[in-house]
Amino acid sequence: MAGDSSRTDLTGMTAAGLAAAIAAGETSAVEVTRAHLDRIDAVDAQVRAFLHVAPEVALAAARAVDARRAAGEPLGPLAGVPLALKDLFTTTDMPTTCGSRILDGWRAPYDATVTARLRRAGVVILGKVNMDEFAMGSSTENSAFGPTHNPWDLSRVPGGSSGGSSAAVAAFEAPLGIGTDTGGSIRQPAAVCGIVGTKPTYGGSSRYGVVAFASSLDTPGPLARTVLDTALLHEVMSGHDPCDSTSIDAPVPPVVAAARQADVSGLRVGVVAELGGEGYQPGVLARFGEAVELLESLGAKVTEVSCPHFSYALPAYYLIAPSECSSNLARFDGMRYGLRVGDDGTASAEEVMSLTRAAGFGAEVKRRIMLGTYALSSGYYDAYYGKAQQVRTLIARDFDAAFEQVDVLVSPTTPTTAFPIGERADDPMAMYLADLCTIPSDLAGNAALSVPCGLAPDDGLPVGLQVMAPVLADDRLYRVAAAVEAALDARRGHPLLDEAKGLGDD
């Protein structure tokens, strides 16, 4: 790959640029796909973003796009563009493991709605990428198949649980990625990998075919290296789905038009007082402060806003999410699909279930199942799960009150930059704090996005600016993010394109 400059150029292009070049006949979808498969071959042994690469599937999809173009058929805005798919979206032609031994090698009998929409749009799925097991984690270290590495510094985490998706995009293995956000699992890895990631309004993107962690929180969303690319993918993957009972029957907000607008003149921006200060890395706060000043210089009206119950979001989340996971993961019993241990003809069904779960689930998944089961148990439901849901209501009211005063809220996306692999592995509370800023939007269901706002001066690693908007006002996110991106020239070169960094060298 090092000697093929044309293919290197293709992997460095934006998704919008690639789609335009394919539609114009300047390159082919097959050539673009091969370039990215070559990139995966060159660097993924070090990044370890992919669990399953599917060259035959990808090239077949690319050839179909080229055939449509040759026949004069209109192509969609992302036709022929490669994508990395988080390994909890079901796919009929690739395994779906959820980063867990309990589903090692399992193939689903149907495509998730998001998978199907991507295919219909001509998006080329390169394969399935790594994640924290069943999306439970903030570093992608909880995967049963080993950790993914942050392309900016291979000794550090890429965030989680969508760390494979974020690392693949940041490493130029794919221009687009799909993740899910339950407590920050799109925005947090996007921030620490220096890319853009969006949690749409809950119900704005379909959960059908997404292996559930916490059903009232899980939200599929897009990741990309630019705001416009993220908006294009947001629009392609979203919309009402009758197969998902929580899907909102409303038009997709005009996110692409907003991303092209890049104007915040007169926009009211609220800085959340509770999301900053003590415990936050100085370099993160420095870049966040500069981003706020930048918005003000671009014509936004900036004020400080208090959301007093955000301080209780983290403990409330770690009662609600485990409670829902303890229910959802009961289906993995060794009886119907996936791993089965101890079925020698003498063991009872209960013994097979126990042995299968002991062997198939990792430590973090077991921890959350036990927490959730306890919180839902007789005598404790009202004291724990019930109280957490009351806090959730108060957090939603905080958002409602804030959005009466301002159009969007902003905060750092994460309290720190990417931390070293292994640093927090034995300290669950320290790990959970990585999602301190992102959890409130998941509990309330409103839209939120992370956009790069520079490198922290104390360690040179990416920092994310989080933008939060009301329910179904997802377009406001892109209006702010595009303005920040344009002002900061976020499309400048990335260290991974410099072969002197050593990535991909033998």
Instruction: Report yes or no: 483 and 264 within 8 Å, Cβ to Cβ.
Output: yes
The rounded distance, in Å, linking the Cα atoms of 297 and 287 is: 15
In the set 28, 100, 138, 161, the catalytic residue is: 161
165 in active site: no
Q: How many residues are recorded in the chain? A: 506
Helix (H/G/I), strand (E/B), else coil: 145? coil
Task: Tell me how crowded residue 119 is: count the other CB atoms within 10 A of its CB.
Answer: 17
- Closest alpha carbon to 67 in 83, 54, 80, 81: 80
185 in active site: yes
In the set 185, 206, 411, 450, the catalytic residue is: 185
86 in active site: yes
In the set 28, 86, 165, 166, the catalytic residue is: 86
Strands (E), 265-361: 268-272, 301-305
Give the per-residue SS3 of 231-263. HHHHHHHCCCCCCCCCCCCCCCCCHHHHHHHCC
Helix runs in 12-80, H state only: 15-23, 29-47, 55-70
Instruction: Report yes or no: 438 and 187 within 8 Å, Cβ to Cβ.
Output: yes
Rg (CA), the chain: 22
C-alpha to C-alpha distances, 484 to 15, 255, 305, nearest whole angstrom: 19, 16, 20
- Closest alpha carbon to 132 in 170, 159, 104, 111: 159
Q: Which residues contact 70 (CB under 8 A, 6 or more apart)?
A: none
Catalytic residues: 86, 161, 185
